[in-house]
Amino acid sequence: MARVAKPGGVVATATWDLRGGVTTARMSYDSIVALGVPGAESWRARQLGGPGVRPGELAKLSRAAGLRDVREGQITIRMDFANFADYWEPAIQGPLLPGLLHGLSPEWHERVRRAVESAFLVGDADGPRSFAATAWVVAGMR
């Protein structure tokens, strides 16, 4: 984006703080690793270890791309779910979980679902939940 922005143009980027700021991601990823799902530890490391995910990294990448007057911050929103199914169904049809679960037995799929459901419910009845989600944000000028 920095390469194609007009001189003086603003380039803004954001990425989810999956390592510590998106409770729903860590709830699933950590539950799956704790189960001992084959390949889960390296899968989680790839999801949580991409460029720009640690504090200050997105700004560093922006400066390295030639942006100046780089400003960084964070935005926190709420992610609301009507119940566990409202959380789980999009997750298992999204881009991440299917890649990990592909090729595993139906028994593994059910073990994963039960573990993540337990983390979601934390001992309460199923129903509405609201989780915080934080993104790192950066803006700079070309």
Is residue 58 a contact partner of residue 72, using CB atoms and an 8 Å limit?
Answer: yes
The CATH number given to 10-141 is 3.40.50.150
**Average pLDDT, integer, range 19-30:** 92
Residue pLDDT, tens place only, 92-108:
998 888 888 888 899 99
Mean pLDDT, the chain, as a whole number? 93
Residue pLDDT, tens place only, 25-64:
999 999 999 999 989 999 999 988 888 888 999 999 999 9
For the chain, percent of residues with pLDDT exceeding 70: 100
Which residues are within 8 A (CB) of 55 and not within 5 positions of it... i.e. 6 or more apart?
A: 136
Confidence at residue 13, expressed as pLDDT on a 0 to 100 scale? 95
CA 84/CA 88 separation, integer angstroms? 6
